[in-house]
Amino acid sequence: MENPLTPEVLADPVALTRALVDIESVSLDEKAIADCVEEVLRRVPHLSTFRHGNTVMARTDLGRSSRVVLAGHLDTVPHNDNFPSTMRGDLMYGCGTSDMKSGVAFALHLAVTLPDPRYDVTYFFYEAEEIESRYNGLTLVAEAHPEWLRADFAVLLEPTYGIVEAGCQGTMRAIVTVPGERAHVARSWRGVNAIHGAGEVLRRLGEYRARRVTIDGCDYREGLNAVRIDGGVAGNVVPDRCEIEINYRYAPDRDPAAAEAHLREVFAGYDLAITDAAAGAAPGLDAPVAQEFLAAVGAAPIGKLGWTDVARFAAMGIPALNFGPGDPNLAHHKDEHVELTKIRDGAATLHRWLTPA
Ligand SMILES: [Zn+2]
C-alpha cells in the first residue's frame, strides 16, 4: 500500500483527518495505520521515533525546561456502515472522525510541521484504547518503556468539542450484604428476612445527597447508585442474604482509600466488599504549562465525568486533560462526524500554544 499520508495531506489537518479515517483500524487491527504513521515520523529530522507493538512515539529533544505529551489512540470501534468517510458540507462523516482521528490528526500535523516548539513534545499514537485495558498501548508502554511517558503535562486529544475537559472522576463498585436467617415461611418468625433488611440500605441511598465539588474551576458531580440487587432462596423460604451492588462515581479530591472510607461510613453497620476501583484524576490546571494551554484555548474548562486515559497519566504524577475537535456525544455512533471548522480551530489553538512567544 502506498502511504496516503503525503506531505500535502500532512500540512492540512482536515485532509489528514480524512486520510486517517480512511485507513481501517478497528481495535487490534492497527498495524497498517501504525506503519503509515511510523514511516512519516521517521522521515522528520527533528524527531526521534520509536515503536512498541502498534504504538508509535516520536519526540523532540531540544533541551526545553518542560516536556508535554500529545496523545491519541489509533483504533476505532467496529464500523457501522460508516466506512470510508463521506463529506456533507462542513461535516466529515465516518467511523473515527470524532473519536478520535481528528485529534490524532492534530498531533501528527504538529509533529511534522513544528520543528521548534516552545516545550519539548512527545507525540503518542497508541493502539487499543477502545477495548480492555490489558491491550491499551499506554498500559503496554508504561510497563515496557516507562521513560517514554516522562512529561510535565499531557493532552489527550479525545473528543471534547473544542473545550478543555480536565481530570476525571474515580469509580468504585462494592457489594453491601444484608444478613438474615433462613426459616420456612410458615414459621417466618423463627427467621430474619434479609430482603426486608435491605430496605434500610435503600433508604440510605434514597436520602443520600451526592457532593458537587469544584476543583481548579471544574465542577465534578458525584453519584452513588444501587445498580443491582440480588436475594432470595426459594418461594417458601425466608431469605438469609441480600446483596446490593453499589456504583460510586467520586470527584478527584478523593482517592480510592477515601472513597472506600466514605462508603463504609454511609453503609455503617453492614458488611461491605469493594469489587472494583479506579482512581480519578485531579485537573492539575495550576501547573504553569496547563495555564498557558488554557490561555491558548481561551474558554473555561469543565470537569470530565467519565473515566479516561487521563487517569493513567495522573497515576504517573502527570497532570493531563482532554481536548479534541469531535463531539463526545457522537463517539461510537453510526452517524459519527466532525465539523471541519472545529478541526481548523483546534489545530490553530495547539499551534498558538506550542509556538514560541
Ligand atoms: Zn476515544
62 contacts 116 by C-beta, under 8 angstroms: yes
- Ligand 1 geometric centre to CA of 8 (Å): 26
Identify the active-site residue in 38, 75, 130, 152: 75
Identify the active-site residue in 127, 129, 222, 292: 129
Q: CA–CA separation, 243 vs 232, rounded Å?
A: 10
- Ligand 1 geometric centre to CA of 244 (Å): 32
CA 216 to chain centre: 19
140 contacts 53 by C-beta, under 8 angstroms: yes
The DSSP string of 15-57 is: HHHHHHHTS--BTT--HHHHHHHHHHHHT-TT-EEEEETTEEE
pLDDT of residue 94: 97
**CA torsion, ordered 106, 110, 112, 116, to nearest 10 deg:** -170
Which of 250, 283, 255, 252 lies closest to 167 in space, CA to CA? 283
pTM for the structure as a whole: 0.84
User: Which run of H or E residues covers position 207?
Assistant: helix 194-207
- 265 as an active site residue: the answer is no
Work out the end-to-end distance of the chain between its first and last CA atoms, rounded to an integer number of angstroms: 41
- Ligand 1 geometric centre to CA of 152 (Å): 22
- Ligand 1 geometric centre to CA of 208 (Å): 33
Using CB atoms within 10 Å of the CB of residue 1, give its burial: 0 to 12 exposed, 13 to 18 middle, 19+ buried.
Answer: exposed
Distances (CA, A) of 79 to 25, 26, 195, 286: 10, 8, 45, 40
pLDDT of residue 132: 86
296 contacts 349 by C-beta, under 8 angstroms: yes
Q: CA–CA separation, 20 vs 36, rounded Å?
A: 9
The single-letter DSSP state of residue 238 is E
- Ligand 1 geometric centre to CA of 98 (Å): 8
- 129 as an active site residue: the answer is yes
Distances (CA, A) of 302 to 164, 166, 209: 6, 6, 22
Q: CA–CA separation, 217 vs 183, rounded Å?
A: 56
Please give the single-letter amino acid code of residue 64: R
The single-letter DSSP state of residue 118 is S
In degrees, rounded to 5, the angle at the alpha carbon of residue 256 between the alpha carbons of residues 253 and 258 is 65
Distances (CA, A) of 18 to 5, 83, 194, 357: 10, 11, 58, 31
Per-residue pLDDT of the chain (357 residues; tens, 9 = 90+): 799 999 999 999 999 999 999 999 999 999 999 999 999 999 999 999 999 999 999 999 999 999 999 999 999 999 999 999 999 999 999 999 999 999 999 999 999 999 999 999 999 999 999 988 899 999 999 999 999 999 999 999 999 999 999 988 999 999 999 999 999 999 999 999 999 999 999 999 999 999 999 998 889 999 999 999 999 999 999 999 999 999 999 999 999 999 999 999 999 999 999 998 989 888 888 888 999 999 999 988 998 877 788 888 988 889 899 999 999 888 788 899 999 999 999 999 999 999 987
pLDDT of residue 314: 87
